[in-house]
Amino acid sequence: MADAGVGHRQQPHRRPQLAPPRRAARPAARCIAIRHWDGYWFGTDRPWGDVFPHYWGALTATTLLWMRAQERAE
C-alpha cells in the first residue's frame, strides 16, 4: 500500500534562481559621515555627511513648550 504523503518527500526542494546582486554606483555605508547628537562625527567624509535630526527635534520641543507658556500667560 502506497503512502499518499511520500511523493513530495522524494523530490528535493528546489529554490528559484535569483538574479546576481547589481553593483550600483554608490558609496559604502562606512564612507558616509554622520554627525551624532553630541557633535561627534562618524565616517570618513565629514563635509558630505548627514546630520541626525535630534537637534531639530529638541528645538521644536523647546519652541512648543515656549508657545504653551506664552498662551498660559495671556
In a domain, 69, yes or no: yes
Give the closest residue to 44 by CA, choosing from 32, 36, 26.
Answer: 32
Q: Residue 61: give the domain boundaries.
A: 28-74
Model-wide pTM > 0.85: no
Whether 12 is in a domain gets the answer: no
User: Considering the domain boundaries, does residue 74 fall inside one?
Assistant: yes
At residue 61, the pLDDT reads 80
> What's the Rg (C-alpha) of the chain?
28
In a domain, 23, yes or no: no
In a domain, 4, yes or no: no
Pairing of β 45-51 and β 32-35 = parallel
5 pLDDT tier (thresholds 50, 70, 90): low
How far, in Å, are 37, 38, 54 from residue 33 at the CA level?
Answer: 13, 14, 16
Give the total number of structural domains in the chain: 1
